[in-house]
């Protein structure tokens, strides 16, 4: 079965139990650290673990201006993303960010406020169009120089809300749809993004840069995109919150596509509260994306109303009857999570569904290949890139192999380009099997057991970076059920295994983001499992 890089063999084997730490200090005892290259950097940062609410309070009190916040974040990006540990999560900074922040400050001085995001620095993924001086490349050298003519709808929403876009984040090239042996977080334009916990470990993809940047406090919140796992996986392994909305809640207009059936943008944040605020900004009905018309009357502009401490009380939560894997530490972590859910008043119900979902994997991959070719060709036809078709991208990579494909190749691009149009019976049959089939499985199991949501470990801990042989993510993966069906999914920090973060997932029926936020918030507040990264370097013994 070939889908994305999260479907590989053994993540646990790639982690290694006997890990030897050669650098990395306790920030309480020593605020300085030295990178592998010998550069000294500060472990702590003036804006560490700030939230949207705390920064708004400081903006209102005059402790900071938006310009000062932007400058601090840009300096921190330089200190630890470009230098020091060189996280490599930001592919490009916005040269106009300080100018925009000054304009925002003038509005604040005049007593004008556009809402919770006014003056708040944000990073967005480099597959989202911005009509400014920044490029939109999906991490591909073939797309270098592409300056979008128009803002993506989500970008317009952010700007209208007063957010300051300070840069774009690196990603798995083509949103992890180039090769079956890819290293998540690597792109030919941006290089390899690293985990801020262990620098030789993988931040997962494709929203790798967004996940690492939020976790490392390079911004308050970021926007990622997901087709299958690309928000929730990097959120899980980077110890943050990620929300993959119902497909149709957030406009995809102006976002480089993979799948019209499964693509969506969504918030990535350190807290459920911040993710909820950002989701309210991103959600919209957009005539440019007809699927969003289905969200009319089903979305809200303020998801913070669902932040309830007793959100788990009286809820029925389904968990797969069969263990997700055999790792004793991960299973113990999940057992503790289940006990907490029950302590908070939820009823946990054993269900059987995951094998049925996994059996649809090849059908999903067929759908993605067909829709990627169709969607990308449409996007490139009107983009300001030198390449105008998927075939042009493939040819560019082949002609520039040393730079564009120094490690893994482009077999997924090739197999996608070989597909026919969306009228093909193979596509129609695969779509029925994957999309409609996954919805039927989830709807039936939820109805039969009167479930409010389904829960499980999001992903196992981060695997080692391996640009030659690719990722090894193992059996602990709960990305596909909500991805195939287009249903909403939230992941919240659940704890550490091998000193690496692991997330807990809740997913459910379409447009139940509010309910999932309530569940995630109640769990988050009862556990407080977010761990601040320490930028350690490890060698596997």
Write out the catalytic residue numbers. Answer: 125, 206, 230
Give percent helix, percent strand, percent coil of the chain, each to the nearest 5: 40, 15, 45
* Residues 354 and 322 sit within 8 Å (Cβ to Cβ): yes
Positive or negative CA dihedral for 130, 134, 138, 142? positive
Residue 520 and residue 503 in contact, taking contact as beta carbons nearer than 8 Å: no
- In three-state secondary structure terms, 477 is strand
Residues 6+ apart with CB under 8 A from 238: 195, 196, 197, 203, 204, 211, 212, 214, 215, 501, 533
160-184 core/surface letters (b: 16 or more CB in 10 A; e: else): ebbbbbbbbbbbbbbbbbbbbbbbb
Distances (CA, A) of 187 to 209, 254, 264, 364: 11, 20, 20, 24
Q: Could you tell me which residues come within 8 angstroms of residue 70 by beta carbon, excluding any fewer than 6 positions away?
A: 97, 98, 100, 101, 121, 164, 166
Give residues with Cβ within 8 angstroms of 292, minimum separation 6: 248, 249, 250, 251, 284, 285, 286
Element (H, E) at 319: strand 316-320
Q: Which residues of 55-79 are buried (b: 16+ CB within 10 A; e: fewer)?
A: bbebbeeeebbbbbbbbbbbebbeb
Q: Which residues touch 263 (CB under 8 Å, ≥6 apart)? A: 225, 226, 227, 247, 252, 255, 257
- Within 163-260, residue ranges assigned H as helices are 173-176, 208-215, 232-237
Contact 503, 494 (CB under 8 A): yes
Q: Are 341 and 455 in contact (CB under 8 A)?
A: yes
């Amino acid at each position: 079965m070939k889908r994305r890089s999260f479907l590989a063999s053994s993540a646990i084997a790639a982690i290694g139990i006997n890990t030897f730490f050669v650098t990395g200090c306790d920030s309480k005892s020593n605020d300085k650290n030295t990178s592998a290259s010998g550069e000294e950097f500060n472990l702590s940062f003036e804006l560490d673990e700030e939230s949207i609410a705390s920064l708004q309070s400081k903006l209102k009190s005059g402790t900071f201006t938006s310009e000062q916040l932007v400058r601090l974040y840009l300096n921190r990006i330089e200190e630890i993303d470009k230098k020091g540990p060189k996280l490599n999560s930001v592919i490009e900074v916005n040269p106009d960010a300080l100018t925009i922040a000054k304009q925002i400050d003038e509005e604040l001085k005049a007593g004008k406020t556009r809402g919770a995001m006014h003056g708040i620095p944000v990073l967005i993924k480099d597959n989202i169009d911005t009509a400014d001086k920044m490029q939109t490349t999906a991490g591909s050298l073939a797309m270098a120089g592409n300056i979008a003519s128009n803002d993506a709808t989500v970008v317009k929403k952010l700007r209208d809300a007063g957010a300051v876009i300070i840069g774009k984040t690196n990603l798995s090239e083509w949103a992890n749809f180039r090769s079956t042996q890819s290293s998540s977080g690597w792109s030919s334009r941006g290089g390899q993004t690293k985990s801020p916990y262990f620098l030789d470990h993988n931040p997962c993809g494709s929203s790798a840069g967004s996940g690492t940047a939020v976790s490392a406090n390079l911004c308050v919140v970021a926007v990622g995109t997901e087709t299958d796992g690309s928000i929730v996986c990097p959120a899980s392994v980077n110890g943050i919150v990620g929300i993959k909305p119902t497909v149709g809640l957030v406009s995809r207009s102006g976002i480089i596509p993979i799948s019209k059936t499964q693509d969506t943008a969504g918030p990535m944040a350190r807290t459920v509260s911040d993710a909820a605020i950002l989701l309210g900004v991103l959600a919209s009905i957009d005539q440019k994306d007809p699927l969003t018309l289905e969200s009319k009357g089903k979305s809200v502009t303020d998801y913070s109303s669902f932040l309830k401490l007793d959100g788990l009380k009286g809820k029925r939560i389904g968990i797969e009857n069969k263990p997700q894997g055999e790792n004793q530490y991960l299973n113990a972590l999940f057992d503790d999570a289940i006990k907490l859910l029950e302590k908070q008043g939820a009823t946990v119900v054993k269900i059987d569904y995951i094998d049925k979902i996994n059996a649809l994997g090849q059908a999903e991959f067929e759908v993605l290949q067909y829709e990627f070719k169709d969607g990308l060709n449409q996007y490139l036809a009107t983009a300001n890139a030198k390449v105008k078709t998927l075939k042009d991208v493939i040819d560019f990579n082949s002609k520039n192999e040393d730079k564009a494909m120094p490690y893994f190749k482009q077999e997924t691009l090739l197999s996608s380009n070989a597909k026919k149009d969306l009228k093909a019976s193979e596509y129609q049959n695969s779509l029925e099997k994957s999309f409609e089939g996954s919805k039927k499985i989830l709807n039936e199991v939820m109805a039969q057991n009167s479930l409010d949501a389904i829960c499980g470990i999001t992903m196992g801990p981060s695997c080692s970076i391996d640009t030659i042989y690719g990722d090894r993510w193992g059996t602990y993966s709960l990305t596909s059920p909500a991805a195939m069906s287009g249903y909403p999914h939230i992941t919240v920090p659940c704890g550490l295994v091998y000193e690496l973060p692991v997330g807990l997932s809740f997913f459910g029926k379409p447009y139940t983001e509010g309910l999932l936020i309530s569940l995630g918030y109640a769990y988050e507040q009862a556990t407080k499992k977010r761990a601040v990264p320490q930028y350690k370097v490890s060698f596997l013994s």
